[in-house]
Structure 1
Amino acid sequence: MGKTGRSGRTAALLAGAIMLTAGAATSAAALEEVDVELVLAVDISRSMAMAEQVVQRNGYVEAIASPEVVAAIESGLLGKIAVTYVEWGKAGAERVVIDWQVIDGEASARAFAEKLAAEPLHEVSRTSISEALVFAADQIDTNGYEGLRRVIDVSGDGPNDHGRPVVQARDLAVSRNITVNGLPLILEDGAPRWSVVEDLETYYGQCVIGGVGAFQIPIRRHKDFAAAIRRKLVLEIVGVQPQTRNRVVPAAAFAARDGRDLCTIGERATAQR
């Protein structure tokens, strides 16, 4: 091959490398930077009475637009977060209710809350925390935002009984640099319900939450919904490692316990039925 041919080939390879580099830079630049990418993953399985769904939904609506949450958002390094609201039940029934939206102040927080308040409630059978976590993690990876932190906030009133093992899904999310926080609903002032887990707080601590700074806030009374959700959002937005007091329980509180049997209790109970 002559010098001209070699030079032409070298130039072509160099041009291709430059185009690939430019394309990668353009793709990276297209991602909007935010303080937190946050998925609110909310249980709508049939174990949740419709009255409880109403209280739960209203709790999120009130919390998102609250002065405390808005102040937490505005105090961030970038002063904005990206949020999506997802509902889930059985595997494959995950649904984006409110798509990704940037909240950077009172007006955008109120707009998100108003959209959420206008959405109808739904009910789905079974409880697949695991597939909800995988679905939520995929939403984060494909959302067009680049957060300093990536968080899934999952609420529910029972153990995983459908889809892949919950620990497997939790660990997958954590491996993707996502923190999973929990809002276990242990309502003591509602109608009696069947449950295979006597201590849902321990179940969430051992099997569901994980990642850097992971924590949960158990809710035991309907009237505590809004305050608990508000506090949880503030902690997630500011990225503060919570203490064990006041029912805010970090993942480390459960690290020394053996949860291998506990983490499959929902699946085993379903198989027995």
Structure 2
Amino acid sequence: MGRAGSLIYKASIAPERPKKLSTGKFRFFSNKLSLHVRFMRGCLPIALGLLWVVSYVPYGIAQPVDLELVFAADGSGSIDDDELLLQRQGYADALLDSRVLEAVTSGRWGKIVVSYIEWGDEASQHTIVDWREIAGPKDARAFGEALLSAPRAAWGYNSISEAIAYSTDKILTNTYEGVRMVIDVSGDGPQIGGRPIDWARDRAVDAGITINALVVKSRGGGHRGPGNIPLEMHYRLDVIGGLGAFAMVADEETPFADVLLAKIIREIADARPTGHGRDVTGIGITDPAIQYAENAITCGTETYERTGTYPGCKRP
């Protein structure tokens, strides 16, 4: 084959050898890799610790807000579809009102959380819009859009007590820590079924929650309360309770949207703390008898004045 042919043949069958690093380059690369390994070993515990903190904080610490507010709206059989839409539109418009947004942003934290439920009989309580943070017009608009687009869910007749119990559970199990906690009940009829109304009210009040009410009176005076008392008196006697509780009435002379707006402004702008927020400011950490007694004016007349530790009103 000859020498040249032999060399070509050996080159064609010889395996390709890997390229080598020079001794100096290899030593530099080895030292650099060693430094990276030692650095990572030192940082790993810190990185894992930070990862644990980041993953733990959202679940372990409640987010502070100025107000936790549940709108508990009547969705029972006495409310037709047009009235239901009008009712929802009123809440959506109210949250977008500049006076409401001003009250929201003027708080310590500059935001509130709101949830909207509709209720019917004792087995019909439904979350229409779950907890949403409201800190400006964009949040309020998104809440209103979600509310107006949701389908109707409630049925049956008037278990105000179960509506309050359901709303109380929503407040006590959420991930927020409000300076104040409020349930806003609106309805056009009396308590009919479910657990006793005084049990539901007292349970909420004992947890530091204030229950306010918007009574909707239809044409001709509407429904009446137990014992044929006026419906608004039934709400003042049996439904509302807690620090600063009040009831308002919407009728032919005072339209629902106007009364609702005034009510929401009052609820958000009322800076007196209740519930979990008592220990933040030191206000409200008093004997329960004194705290409940401050609600005397909410009964509307001297005849039905609040007395002692009873969180409702005393019947004559």
Which interval holds the TM-score relative to the shorter structure? 0.7 to 0.9
Q: Does the aligned pair in 2 maintain the 1:154–1:182 contact within 8 Å?
A: yes
Q: Following the alignment from structure 1 to structure 2, what is the Cα–Cα distance between the partners of residues 200 and 50?
A: 22
Structure of higher RCO (CA pairs closer than 8 Å, 6+ residues apart): 1
- Give the whole-Å Cα distance in 1 for the aligned partners of 2:62 and 2:253: 39
Instruction: Give the counterpart of 1:228 among 240, 245, 259.
Output: 259
Q: CA deviation at 1:69?
A: 1.1
Stretches of structure 2 lacking an aligned partner (at least 5 in a row): 1-52, 273-295, 307-312
Partners of 2:259 and 2:215 lie apart in 1 by 11
In 2, distance between residues paired with 1:203 and 1:240?
27
State the partner residue of 2:200: 169
Find the counterpart in structure 1 of residue 298 from structure 2.
251
Identity of aligned residues (%): 38
1:40-79 paired onto structure 2 within 5 Å: 40-79=71-110
TM-superposed CA distance for 1:223, in Å, is 6.7
Task: List runs of 5+ in structure 1 lacking aligned partners.
Answer: 1-21, 242-248, 261-273
Instruction: Check whether the contact 2:187–2:214 (CA below 8 A) recurs between aligned residues.
Output: yes
The 1-side partners of 2:256 and 2:214 are apart by 10
Change in Cα spacing, 1:62 to 1:81, as seen in structure 2 (3 Å) is: same
Give the letter aligned to residue 315 of structure 2.
G
Q: 1:164 to 1:259 in 2, by over 3 A?
A: farther
Relative to the length of structure 2, the TM-score reads 0.67
**Aligned length in residues:** 228
Question: For 1:8-64, what per-residue CA distance to the aligned partner results, in whole angstroms no more than 9, with x for missing partners?
Answer: xxxxxxxxxxxxxx9xx9688520000000000011111223332222111111111
Q: Return the offset for 1:73.
A: 0.4
Paired residue secondary structure (2:255): helix
- Would the aligned equivalents of 1:55 and 1:222 in 2 still touch at CA under 8 Å? no
Structure label with greater radius of gyration: 2
Aligned residue in 2 for 1:215: 246
Query: Per-residue displacement from partner, 1:150-192 (whole Å, max 9, x unpaired)?
Result: 0000001111111111111101100000000000111237xx8
State TM-score, norm by structure 1: 0.76
Alignment of 1:5-20 (within 5 A): none
- 1:179 corresponding residue in structure 2: 210
Q: What is the rounded CA distance, in whole Å, between the counterparts of 1:141 and 1:194 in structure 2?
A: 32
Per-residue Cα deviation, 1:181-223 (whole angstroms, up to 9, x for no partner): 000111237xx86655451110000000000000111111387
> Corresponding residue for 2:288?
none
1:103 pairs with 2:134: yes
